[in-house]
Structure 1
Amino acid sequence: MIRGYTAQQVRAAERPLLDAGRPLMLHAARALAGRVAEHLRAPDAPRVLVLAGSGDNGGDGLYAAALLRGQGIVADAIATADGFHAGGAEAFREAGGTLHALDDADPEDLRARLAEADLVLDAIVGIGGRAEVPAYLTTLLEEVRRSGAPVIAVDVPSFVDASTGLAAPGALTARETVTFGAVKAGLLLPGGAELAGHVHLVDLDLADHLPAEPTVIRLGDAEVTERWPQPERDATKYSRGVVALVAGSPRFPGAAVLAASGAARTGAGMVRVIAPQSVLDLVLRTRPEVVGHPAETVDPEAIGRLHALVAGPGLASDDPRTRAGVDLLSTAGGENTPGEVSRGVIDAGGLDAIGAAHRFPGDVVLTPHRGEADRLAERLGIDPDLPGPDLAIALATATGATVLLKGAITLIAPADGGPLCAQDDATSQLATAGTGDVLAGMIGTLLAAGLTGPDAATLAAILHGRAGRLASRGGTLPLVALDVAEHLPEALGTILAGALS
């Protein structure tokens, strides 16, 4: 698990160590120099160009450049502000380096320096930076991009908010971010995550001074292995979990096939589909193991045993099944009565059926994409222009449900105020019709197996993303939604094998 903290939390954790005289900057610079040297193993006479700001971030870069020069690596530096970090600049000069002023470099000189650079070190601003590029640095950043030189970001990519991930247009994209003491939340969130590249954490012994609960988390293979619901030796189809899908319509019959495939291939003990007979005929041609319930509404007593309900894939918001499914999952009338269902997923048309009067348990997962989230926010009196992380949290707070906000970075907000989860497992090839239906079925299966809303949503997001990568051969080839469902067992097997090896 990766734990992310706000800039304020990291500063507070550093303070006791700084007050005790710990040279944190020198430790960070030493680790940074070592990491840069690893990236420069190939060239015979490697060259580094440091973009050094005036603050501590620039100091980290200059101290690291001094150490690199001591290893025989040619390190140049450009001061990107009027001032510079005095200690770092002195160490750099003592090592034989020259700190060039940005104003003194004409465009041709700048291009020449970049053409010679095997790597650029982005040390312009750190965790105190704002998501705004000053006009006088625009040309410099454009020239860096044009040069094609790989970028290593120091602590955070410059002009990315370290706490929120908000990123300025024109900020540099890093191959890797070497971050100090703790992972900054903004490196895991939309905006910052796209610019950070691989995040390499340098341990500065801050753990005892950081909050017990991080602001953002990202789960990995170890957490999937630990939390995945494996059937016991004496398991039955009922003990593994029964998921019922209120899905598919004459207009969108395939949604039921896809949701059922996602549920079945994730390991459901039984998948029930509640739909018109024409939809069930299509489902059963693809998934003969599904139990069909031809119905125009949802009656749990008539359906039989179920542990989780998925409502909405392929349905309109005014479909009687949609309304019935959403109402069954809602606790607006008080505590759940025996005829209601307390675990499930509301997706697609079901999301548009949610109103201000609805309230859900935390083991109900809402799965909007941004457009659906905006519409739901407007109905609930929430500002739809909020950044994604804030919007997901606001929707979870307002509805009581766990909210999975789809996107390049998948955000999972638990209703209990716990850490926001930000997963980056997917590929852009998943941006195709029907993949969300597969995901809804997957979450339903994990809820039926007994996982909590946040765990079911997060593990499903991880597996869905990995299956998408397998189906598209690492994100290079197109895929269709059914490909994702069919690659789920292989994706899970890869995760379990890797975490246990």
Structure 2
Amino acid sequence: MITAYTAEDVRRAERPLLDADVPLMQRAAAALAARCLPLLRERAGTVPGSRVVLLVGPGSNGGDALFAGAHLARRGAAVTAVQTEAALHDAGAAALSRAGGCLHRARGADEQTARLLGDADLVVDGVLGIGGRPELSDELAAILAAANASPASVVAVDVPTGVDATTGEAADDAVRAELTVTMGAVKAGLLLPGAAAHVGRVDLVDLGLAPHLPSEPAVRRLETEDVRELWPVPGPADQKYSRGVVTIDAGSADFPGAGVLSASGAARAGAGMVRYRGPAAVRDMILARRPEVVGADGRHQAVVIGSGLSPEDPRCRRGVEELCAEDAVGVLDAGALSAIRPGDRLPSHVVLTPHAGEAARLAEALDLPSSLPPARLAGELARATGATVLLKGEVTLVADGDAPDRLYSQAEATPWLGTAGTGDVLGGILGTLLAAGLPGPLAAALAASVHGRAGVAASRGGTAPLVALDVAEHVPAVLTAILGGAITTVASRGGA
């Protein structure tokens, strides 16, 4: 699992080490140089004679870049540091000069700066670090735009310049890195919307901060090993009721397919039983596609309500009232989100699944600001309702109704998932996980991860269009790839 922390968390964690004279900058610089070497070999074929441009500001990030540049210069690279501000990290600049590197004071994207960037094999962004903000001066924006236009590989030190380390907000001209080498701890903003288009791959350098970081990170991201460990796998004694029963209350005369998609997502994710309650015509369509679905209401562990329903459908408000019960478990999607009223209090094992437009409308209905950045909007909706909020998007965010400032952030999806009905499939997958007994926030993060991966598989690695039912049908293959070892273990014990 990737754990990420606010800028202030990291500053506090660094302080005891700095007070003890631990050489953090030297360690960071050596690790940065080591990460740059493979990129140089890939781009230039060899390190000696390759061309490296360092964009440096006056702070620690500039120092990291300058000392790393000295390492590269000693390996034979031609290294030039482009000074973007009047001040400079003196010790780092001296080290670069001793190693044979050069300094150039930029005046915006002047002719020499533009030429250096255009000819570079590697650009190292060390202008601003965790104190940086998405507001850039015109001169700095021009330099960063030239760096983004360069054919070179771009490596950001700690945080791409122009990206807020805590919120992820990013300036239009913020550095677009191929690799972000982040020091000591992953910064929360690197895992949040906005920053996603700028950070590239994130590589953590361990500087020994872990004992001094908070026990609860600001942002978590599940990785493959986490999904393998946490996904509910049936054992030999399990049967349909112990595995979890999910009821689908979705689909209408205008949008009958939503019921099929939601039921398919639930079934393909491994529900012990999927029930349907709703109009007979929708039920018949579901049974024609999924004969294993039970077309009658009955006992269940979770319910999925709202996909394919208009806000005026009485099933929406009844569903909200049903899930306001203290021990209720389920998903509110689409039309049911519009039935939530100020004062409704939902438990955190109820998950709301809005996309950006639905989240803004729900915020307005609850008298909350609707134009907040996604991370804050998800948190405020969770705080106002008590429910877990899964905010769908390029990066899917999950905010816990019991701890709204702590987020999960999943980014496995492909833009091809932005098509009708894929959210209905997600709701079904999520319902299955809730019915299996997982807590709301964890179920939501797991569902987002597997749904995103299934979307990539359905779109042939993220290269082709998909339709929503394709996503549901690819869930078993995705789970096989993740859970193969666990499933084999169960089968070898005689489980069915």
Regarding TM over 0.5, the answer is yes
1:52 aligns with 2:56: yes
Q: Aligned partners of 1:422 and 1:17: how far apart in 2?
A: 29
Which of 436, 441, 448 is equivalent to 2:423? 436
Distance 1:387 1:498, change over 3 A: farther
Contact 2:414 2:456 in 1 (8 A): yes
Contact 1:52-1:80 at 8 Å conserved across structures: yes
Asked if residue 376 in structure 1 is aligned to residue 362 in structure 2, the reply is yes
- Of 387-396 and 343-352, more deviation after overlay is shown by 387-396
Q: Does 1:77 align with 2:81?
A: yes
Partners of 1:172 and 1:426 in 2: CA distance: 23
Q: Does 1:234 align with 2:237?
A: yes
Deviation at 1:400, TM superposition (A): 0.9
Letter in 1 for 2:118: A
Match of 2:494 in 1: none
Classify 1:26/1:499 alpha carbon distance in 2 versus 1 (closer, same or farther; 3 Å): farther
User: What is the CA distance between 1:105 and its match in structure 2?
Assistant: 7.4
The yes-or-no answer on 1:182 pairing with 2:185 is yes
Pairwise CA distance, 1:188: 0.6
Give the fraction of aligned pairs with identical amino acids, expressed as a percent. 57
Q: Counterpart in 1 of 2:119?
A: 116
Q: Tell me if 1:402 matches 2:388.
A: yes
Corresponding residue for 1:142? Answer: 145
Describe how 1:347-362 pairs up with structure 2 within 5 A.
Answer: 347-362=333-348
CA shift for structure 1 position 251: 0.1
Deviations 1:83-130 (A, max 9, x none): 1100100101111111101039742x3333223211110111111111
Residue 433 of structure 2 is aligned to residue 446 of structure 1: yes
| Residue identity opposite 1:239 in structure 2 | S
Residue of structure 1 in register with 2:320 after alignment: 326
CA distance in 1 between counterparts of 2:161 and 2:487 reads 37
- Deviation per CA, 1:175-206, whole angstroms, max 9, x where unpaired? 01000000000101111232111000000000
2:214 paired with 1:211: yes
1:365 aligns to what SS in structure 2? Answer: strand
SS of equivalent to 2:107: helix
* Residue 386, structure 1, aligned to residue 389, structure 2: no
- Counterpart of 2:97, as a letter, is R
Unaligned runs of 5+ in 2: 489-496
Give the direction of change, closer, same or farther, for the CA distance of 1:106–1:374 in structure 2 (3 Å limit).
closer
**Aligned-pair distance for 1:142?**
2.1
CA contact under 8 A between 1:10 and 1:182: conserved in structure 2?
yes
CA distance, structure 2, for counterparts of residue 144 and residue 4 of structure 1:
27
Distance verdict in 2 for CA 1:499–1:156, change over 3 Å: farther
2:282 to 279, 284, 302: 279
Letter in 1 for 2:390: L
Letter in 2 for 1:289: E
Alignment match, 1:223: 226
- C-alpha contact 1:221 1:499 (8 A) present in aligned 2: no
Check whether the contact 2:338–2:362 (CA below 8 A) recurs between aligned residues: yes
The DSSP-based 3-state class of the residue aligned with 1:383 is coil
Q: Over aligned residue pairs, what C-alpha RMSD do you find?
A: 1.6
- Matched with 1:477 is 464
Residue 84 of structure 2 corresponds to residue 97 of structure 1:
no
SS at match of 2:398: strand
Alignment check: 8 A CA contact 1:221 1:496 kept = no
1:158-307 aligned at under 5 Å gives the runs 158-293=161-296, 303-307=297-301
Whole-Å Cα distance in 2 between the matches of residues 500 and 184 of structure 1? 35
> What is the Cα deviation at residue 499 of structure 1?
9.4
User: Cα gap change, 1:70/1:498 in structure 2, threshold over 3 Å: closer, same or farther?
Assistant: farther
Distance 1:14 1:40 in 2: 30
Aligned partner of 2:429: which letter?
M
253-262 or 33-42, larger mean C-alpha shift = 33-42
Q: Which amino acid aligns with 2:193?
A: P
| Alpha-carbon contact 2:39-2:153 (below 8 Å) kept | no
Residue in 1 that maps onto 2:445: 458
- Report the Cα distance in structure 1 between the residues aligned to 2:485 and 2:88, rounded to whole angstroms: 46
Contact 1:361 1:400 in 2 (8 A): yes
1:115-149 CA distances to partner (integer Å, 9 max, x unpaired)?
32111101111111111121112322222222222
Instruction: Give deviations 1:264-287, integer Å, cap 9, x for gaps.
Output: 000011111112111112111111
**Deviations along 1:421-442, whole A, 9 cap, x unmatched?**
1111101010000000000011
Partners of 2:74 and 2:152 lie apart in 1 by 22
Mapped to 2, the partners of 1:435 and 1:260 lie a distance apart of: 12
Alpha-carbon distance in 2 for matches of 1:373, 1:147: 38
Equivalent residue number for residue 414 of structure 2: 427
Which residue identity lines up with residue 305 of structure 1 in the other structure? R
CA separation in 2, counterparts of 1:159 and 1:106?
A: 20
Structure 1's 498 and 371: CA in aligned 2 closer, same or farther, altered over 3 A? farther
Cα distance in 2 for residues equivalent to 1:290 and 1:106: 67
**Following the alignment from structure 1 to structure 2, what is the Cα–Cα distance between the partners of residues 114 and 6?**
32
Aligned length: 483
- Give the whole-Å Cα distance in 1 for the aligned partners of 2:401 and 2:459: 34
Distance 2:98 2:292 in 1: 74
Whichever residue aligns with residue 132 of structure 1, its letter is: E
Deviations for 1:34-78, whole angstroms, at most 9, x for unmatched residues? 110121123233211111111111111111001111111221111
Does structure 1 conserve the Cα–Cα contact (< 8 Å) formed by 2:457 and 2:478?
yes
Equivalence for 2:492: none
* Superposed displacement of residue 221, structure 1: 1.2
Q: Deviations over 1:200-259 (max 9, x none)?
A: 000000011111111111111121111111112121111111100111001000000000
- For residue 247 of structure 2, give the secondary structure of its aligned residue in structure 1: strand
Q: Describe the superposition over 1:456-500 as per-residue Cα deviations: whole angstroms up to 9, x where unpaired.
A: 111100000000111111211010000000000111111224899
1:313 matches 2:307: yes
Q: Is the 8 A contact 2:109 2:139 kept in 1?
A: no
Structure 2 SS opposite 1:478: coil
Q: How far did 1:455 drift?
A: 1.3
**Cα offsets for 1:306-356 (capped at 9, x unmatched):** 11111100001121222222211113xxx55xxxxx100000000011111
Per the alignment, residue 40 of structure 1 pairs with 40
Cα separation, partners in 2 of 1:313 and 1:104, compared to 1, 3 Å: closer
Contact 1:62–1:88 (CA under 8 A) maintained in structure 2: yes
- Is the Cα–Cα contact under 8 Å of residues 221 and 498 in structure 1 kept in the other structure? no
Cα separation, 2, equivalents of 1:241 and 1:500 = 18
Contact 2:108/2:139 (<8 A) preserved: no
CA distance in 1, matches of 2:353, 2:11: 35
